[in-house]
Each structure stands twice: as C-alpha cells, then as structure tokens.
Structure 1
Amino acid sequence: MYADGVTGSGRAMPVGLSAALDRLCPGRVRRSVSLAGISRWKVGGPADLLVEPQSAEEISGVLRLCRSAGVPLLVVGDTSNLLFADEGFRGVMMQIGRRMAAVSITGTTVTAQAGVWMPYLAATVGRAGLSGIEHTAGIPGTLGGLVMMNGGSQRRGIGEHVSRVWTIDERGEAAILGQADCRFAYRRSAMQDRFVVITAAELVLERGDARSIRRTIIDIMASRRRKFPLKLPNCGSVFLSDPAMYATVGPPGHAIEQAGLKGLRAGQAQISPVHANFIVNLGGATARDILTLIGIARSTVFDRTGFWLNCEVRHVGPDGTLRPAHEVAATDRAEQTS
C-alpha cells in the first residue's frame, strides 16, 4: 500500500486521483497490484492502481478521471491474450470482469455485459436452446476481449453473430456500433484501431436443440483437455494462423513442432510438449523468457518455411503501450545479436 499521490514505483501520481477513484468505485480500487497474480500466464511486475468498475457509468468516470490527470490507463478483461512486462505497469488498470457479467435473452437475441466469462455464456445460451457460439466454450476470456479481437476457435469468430456493440471512448462518451461498423475480419475488428472500451454486446443466434448443443460443448471441452496443456499457466494460442501458411505448411503448432522446438525452454518458460502453439510457465517464468521463445520460434520457422509467425498475444509495456508480442520479441532479439 502507498499514500495517495505516490505510485508503487515511487513515481509521482497526481494528487487526489486514487481518492477520486475510491469515491467513484468504493471498495474496488487496489494499489500496488501484482500483475503476476492476475495474469493467466502468471507473469508481470506491479501495477500502480487497479480498479474494477461495475457499470458503464463508472467506466466513463474512470476514463474521464485518468484523461484529466494525464495518467496511462490500461483496460483488461481476463488477461488471456496479454503478456505483462516484468517491470509492471505505471498507471491505472481497469479490469472489466465478474462485476459486469449480466446476461439477458429475448428470443434468439442475447445481450451480455463485457465482463461475462465466455465458457459461462456459451453454456447459458446453450441451455436456452440457442446455437452459434459453441466454439467459444473453452476460451478462457471475457466477451469484451473476444469481441475486440473477433476471437473464437475452429477458425471461427464471435463477430459472425454480433449485431451491436456498446462502447465508450477515451473522453468517456458512449456509442453503439452496428456489425458493419465493427468491420470484423479474422482475429480483427475496427475497435482495435482506436481506443474504445466495450461495455456490452448483442448477439443474434439460431434456434437449436439444447441437448445437442450441450453434447457439442462437452466434445469441444474434452478435445481441449486432450490437445492443450491446461494444467500449467499459459495464454492460450500464442501465434495466429495465417491462411497462406496454413495451406502449405499447416497451423503454427505443427510448424513449430516440425522445426524441432517442442519442449524448448528459456528460463522457466517452455514451448509446451503437449501443443507447440502454447508457451507454458513452469514456475517463475518472466516475460523476457517468453519473448525469447517467441523470437526463437519465429526465426526458426521462417528459416524453414519462409513464413513469419505473428502473435495473437499483446505485450503490455510499463507505460501501457500495447504491441503484438512478436514485435517486442523481434526488437529484443535484434538487440541481443547486434
């Protein structure tokens, strides 16, 4: 803990910001938070402040306070696609999670807040006899994060079924985007191109048989347990599947395995012996360890195939800068070899 006005790193925090956040979100502001404690990879240094809003109005208020104070703000969900820097984050982290997870169903239309956990949402709509998002059942993330990156599995994306998205911009202003506004593409959306916070989304699904949907979800979960290293901290798939590479070489995990890198370690990080598109934390891994493995995998696969592997994962710098992890890994590798 530290006094209002001073960050965990000793850098000056605008006087009164922490107290203002406490008034806005009482009992839901924490100081000097270990990012390794909230990261699905169990990696990262301390964050100065973490706040958990429970409404769109509170999100807007946090955005306005941080903008007025000139303090970096980072918005996260379940952190499944983030790699936090070992140095931590010098600013305010806003985590949208279980406090914003309401779901309502009217006919075939589902409206859900951004913090709902995807396995729960997939199961809930499945029990209601609605089909279309079974492929998300095993994804350990929140709806907001999935919509932002058009996430999914089996080469599908949640954007197929998104009809509207509620957002708030950096000024704290709310807007509703239609599907065309979102410009969904493979693991992409227009919302990645500018700062917006997703607060809720509307999905239009299809009628289906609840028992059949449940069996599909059970099969997906069983397949994930067989194929993926779920017992060790990881972020899910590290590298994106490139269609051109997929057609000639195969998916990223296959390319990495064929390069002989399965099981390779850097410090306490390892390219999983179970599935090569996963990097696992064996206990005490650092972001630097993980970036080292990303760099080795990319250069080795490129030398063999002529294709560069690009990351789904975003690296979070100490100032909150979000960059694809392969860009950071490439910079680090160049510095090490120069």
Structure 2
Amino acid sequence: MLNYVIRRLLQGMLTIFIVSIITFSLMHISPGDPIEAFVGERPLTSEQIELLRQRWGLDLPIHEQYINWMSRMVRGDFGDSIMRPGQTINTMIANAAPATIYLNVYTLLVSIGIAIPLGVIAGVKRYSALDYSSMLVAVLGICIPNFWLALMLLLLFGLTLGWLPVSGVASWHGWILPVAVLATAETALLARLMRSSTIEVLTEDYVRTARAKGLPNYTVIIRHAVRNAMLPITSIIGYRIAFMLSGTIIVEQIFAIPGLGRLFISAVYRSDYQVVQAMVLLFAVVIVLVNILTDILYAYIDPRIRLG
C-alpha cells in the first residue's frame, strides 16, 4: 500500500507540473495585457508603465517568470493580485473557498442520498414501471446542460413564483437552486451506475447462496448486494469531483455566489494572470489528491484488491 501511495503521489506531482506549464503558457500567449487592463484610462507615461511591469516581474524572460512563480507556489505563496493591489491571492481564495466547499459538499450529499436508494430500487425492481420512469428521468438529468437548467429554475422559482432568492446565499434558501442544478446530473449518473451494479451483483453466486439459506430479501440486498454494488460508485465519485468543480464555476456565476468559481471568472475577464494561474493549480492539486484518496478507499472497501 505504501509503495502504491508513493507512486501515485509522484504521478500526481508530475501531473501538477504539466498543468502548471500549460496554464502559465496559455495565460502568457492569450490576448490581453494585465498591465494595460490595470492602467485603463489613467494618464500614465511609458516609464510608469514599465515600472509597473518591473513591479510584477513581467519584464523578465518567460522562463524566469515561471521559475519565480513556481518557487512561490511551492512555498504556499500565491502572490498578489494585479487587479486588486494590496490584496494577496491567499486571502482572496480563503474568503471565496467556504462558499464553494459548502456548495460541493451539499451537492455530493444530496446526489448520493438520492442516487443510491433510487439505483438499488431500480435494480431490484428491474423492468418495472419504477425502473423505466427513474431511468428516463436519469437520462434527462444527464442530457440537460446545467447552465440551461439553472436559468430555467431561476426564472420559474426565483422570478415567476418568487419562492426562492435569485442570487446570493445569505440564508439556507439560497442554496436550494444551486445545489439542485449541480445535483441533477450527478444524481442521474450515480443512479444509473448504481442500478447497473446492483443488477450485476444480484446474479452473483454468493447472493443466490444467501437466498438459499433462507435469509430475508431485505437482508440479502442490504448486507450482501449493496455493499459490493457500491464499489463502482466509490471509484467514480472521486473522478466526478472535477466535473463538479467545473459546474460550480458556471453555477456560481449565474446565482452570484461569492465562491472560487466566480473569483475565477472575474480574474479571467480582468486578465489577472496571478489569480487564474493560482486557482488552476489549486484545482489540479485538489483533483489529484481526491483521486488518490478514492483509490485508497476503494482498496479498503474491497479486501480482495491489493495495491502496490
């Protein structure tokens, strides 16, 4: 196990290194100049603009800029924002992170809480009306784009009916629509996967043996079938974190949630290189760590699996 963890950590470090190079390169070849965006209409001379470039190290060769940036990243220093002078990126991320964490945790809890029972019931009641109807809803949930669903729910429950707030998360009511939008696709995917896994597990010999011993059907399903059917769910949840983070960026922008997604979009619009690079690298680190933890948990749940 230890060898596997070390190997995965090394692979993760390589992945993060490649992501950092790609992100840094794309930000520097993309249209727009952060200094020009910062100056705007201010009547500054070319000498003053050049001093600003020196202040942010943008006058250095590209490889030196990358080395300086990565050395700060390794120390946990994300630097200062170009568009918000005097404010560190660490502070900006720390202020925005709680909203994003809450949003993703609520989404994950709702998705798992609905998808697992629904998938088990659909698998046990295979080819029934409940099975067909639930899987039809699941297919629709996967196909509907989250930005379209967010706008429709906003128009219906926020503007037309006035039941829920249209922006912000000042109260618990503000979390309902964003969580519903993000949880729709995740619930649909996990429910379909749980149904297929349940159907497969119910045909195994140990399940037939448990039934032959006279165990109640409820006991057979809960104690013998569900635990093994959960293995694919456990493995895919870690990989869905990346999709949830990408969906969070859109949802936070639509519902005006002051989280990492909205901060990221704002930084992109303003050509704030430092913020964009730091957030992309942070997302990469989170995804890599979640995937490693998911693989370790998968081996813990299923003793037959040996890693490393």
Superposition TM-score, scaled by structure 1 size: 0.19
Structure scoring higher RCO (CA < 8 A, sep ≥ 6) equals 2
Larger Rg: 2
Identify the structure with the greater strand proportion: 1
Identify the structure with the greater helix proportion: 2
